[in-house]
Structure 1
């Protein structure tokens, strides 16, 4: 990673208990104004952020190991992104690309064609959120194939719209009481090495799913398979080697569109531009969001031109999709990723963190598994000496870390996974401090 000049001191510093008085005041205001259905992981309110630090309204400097759920990979106030956004906003904030187009949208699409896997001719469409990207990828697959059925997997998370809730596996809090959901969505077993029966290979796990697809749906009825190459909300599950390539080969042989959902894994997070590159996977369509634009709301689908160009004019789009400010932020963020060599930095973060976490796992009896790739890492918390998920201890670990000024996120189908998504620009000293606090929390939280 190239030398980065930080605007804020990269040091944890607590001047009040958490939450502090101003954060507590804002919580009271929030309860009177914001719907109760909108949750927050931590009870502190941000006023500034840079590199791996978030400063709250009470003046506390906290270590950020969540990146706004893998969004601020280049930091929350990268100078190049901030300057590009300001310059674009000074000219125009919106015209709607579907009415009066502009170069930024085209430039982002060109960049995505360059970065995404596959040497085929590509097309892209820009949207606002990961859920929008997923929904439109499915729309394209259904129209292009003339089929309706879509396969998703156990532990999957694909969004909160009606269709993407159907694709998402976990009921609470994402799906409970929000149905009925979109039809023709089928769920297949995932490769989950920690919880699969002993000895099952990735190829065997894939064949298990393929057999179910053929028996329960029929290949000739299937429009698409959609999968996260590393599952996110489901627990940062890394499938066994061979699982994804076997699915891709079957999909290709049966003219089924293979959609890689890289909303959380994309843009250097796992040490490659995209996680599917690790096993040489070439999807027909790839969905992207989160880290794409340095914190600005932007998402995209990029895929085979022969698929996307089948959609009639006006069939894809949206009023704010590919907003010019978000496009400016994306182009700047991608430039920073290259300048800082954040793919290599993600690999370095992974090497450093995994070494420490695996040593910790060997010394305590509440860690069932340590896994991940690059700067997308997970610790599965279990009841001592078993593989039984312990969501209560997981919550206690996150709370204990926050008390010491470190923000960590949890996830998992069973609510028992600590996930680490630090900004890729975090420096080694701050990362080490954050890991030390986390290790102490795992040892002491009860």
Structure 2
């Protein structure tokens, strides 16, 4: 079959079923084009994208600024490996570190790679700076976390689908309840070999669980008290998604033109990915100050593609779009409208228990069990009505549109969601 040959949705799905590993269960829609907040299937039907590739496409599909930067760099120099310098990486590292207020950046490609990198940095810091005996370091994580699916990461997951039959697992992790400062302090008090605390500012995959006010600030204070590194996984919550440049910005108002962007809760190690490239290219990064990052020396860690010239050009362009188009402010404003509209509707509908989220990272909790098909059926109905979303954890539907969405488009989407929900028996 020629790559230029037209294909139907049915044929495309059949090809994947036959020739691809079955490691995903996609919604049955075959997309062939995207622009801004919209995508089109191979038959030409137009949809609102309300998932944004799990928050990777914050800047909208095929943003011309990002695409042009990628194409121009691809025509010039695509890959050198880190065996040589290239003329783009240093510019990108300077731009990103100044944007997020850190001394150093270690470039990688995917979110899971960046998490693995942060874990290695944290452990090496623990042995060389904190004085923990080699191979004894432990890292505290939260229950219901999602940091990727590598062997090390699933070792501290409690998702049976991600874990079962992939052992033996990696030691060195302590699991505690999310949004529980008492549990965190107890773990810190009773384990002298703790090197770091790895946490999502909002647990996205678990169902968009937003922690209590003051949780992140309290957690950072406890980490400082016990000389432990606070590691923020902002792969999904970062790059303006929650209405701030970073979710750890907390109450510092990134929607205010006077805001410096300095996080209210500054992580010791910051993990970024997804929208760091606007979804155009795999780009991830770990950021930290010199006292932490300088434990990494030549030969300790690396990646053939990490820090390649295309990634550097795309990363700068993607961050530039976020700043120039004030996407954090737009996410904040539209998020407030989205939750207000749904909160007004929910009392009239027994099907939905609640809506929760920050900025344009939101979810609705369906009044049914995790084992039910109700959330999936709703997403199938939304698809028929021109809006694409996906369930997470059975009875939760995540809503995360591109941040370039307008108020009129958002209200149109709210109308589609409400109209669709009203068609289901309650």
TM-score, normalisation: structure 2: 0.90
Counterpart of 1:239 in structure 2 is 211
Deviations 1:149-201 (A, max 9, x none): 011101110001111112333222x222212221111110012xxxxxxxxxx
Give matches, 1:167-178, under 5 Å.
167-172=156-161, 174-178=162-166
Deviations 1:15-55 (A, max 9, x none): xxxxx981111111122211122x14322222110011101
Q: Structure 2 CA distance, aligned partners of 1:40 and 1:103? A: 41
Counterpart of 2:182 in structure 1 is 207
How far residue 398 of structure 1 moved from its aligned partner, in angstroms, is 1.0
Deviations 1:290-344 (A, max 9, x none): 1001111010000121111012212122111122212211111111111211011
Matched, 1:179 2:167: yes
Matched, 1:441 2:420: yes
Question: Contact (CA 8 Å) 1:400, 1:445: kept in 2 or not?
Answer: no
Counterpart of 2:148 in structure 1 is 159
Unmatched runs of 5 consecutive residues or more in structure 2: 1-5, 252-263
Counterpart of 1:27 in structure 2 is 13
Matched, 1:425 2:404: yes
Matched, 1:400 2:371: no
CA RMSD of aligned residues (A): 1.7
Q: Structure 1 CA distance, aligned partners of 2:216 and 2:298? A: 33
| Count of residue pairs the alignment pairs up | 399
TM-score, normalisation: structure 1: 0.86
Q: Structure 1 CA distance, aligned partners of 2:351 and 2:206? A: 19
Deviations 1:69-103 (A, max 9, x none): 1011111111111111111011111111x112223
Matched, 1:142 2:130: no
Q: Structure 1 CA distance, aligned partners of 2:221 and 2:367? A: 36
Unmatched runs of 5 consecutive residues or more in structure 1: 1-19, 192-204
Which secondary structure does the structure 2 equivalent of 1:26 belong to? helix
Deviations 1:133-159 (A, max 9, x none): 011101001011124201110111000
Q: Structure 2 CA distance, aligned partners of 1:21 and 1:441? A: 29
Runs (4+) of structure 1 exceeding 4 A deviation are 388-391
Which secondary structure does the structure 2 equivalent of 1:249 belong to? helix
Deviations 1:391-419 (A, max 9, x none): 4221121111112121012224xx22111
Which secondary structure does the structure 1 equivalent of 2:336 belong to? helix
Which secondary structure does the structure 1 equivalent of 2:33 belong to? strand
Q: Structure 1 CA distance, aligned partners of 2:118 and 2:309? A: 22
Alignment equivalent of 2:363, drawn from 353, 378, 381: 378
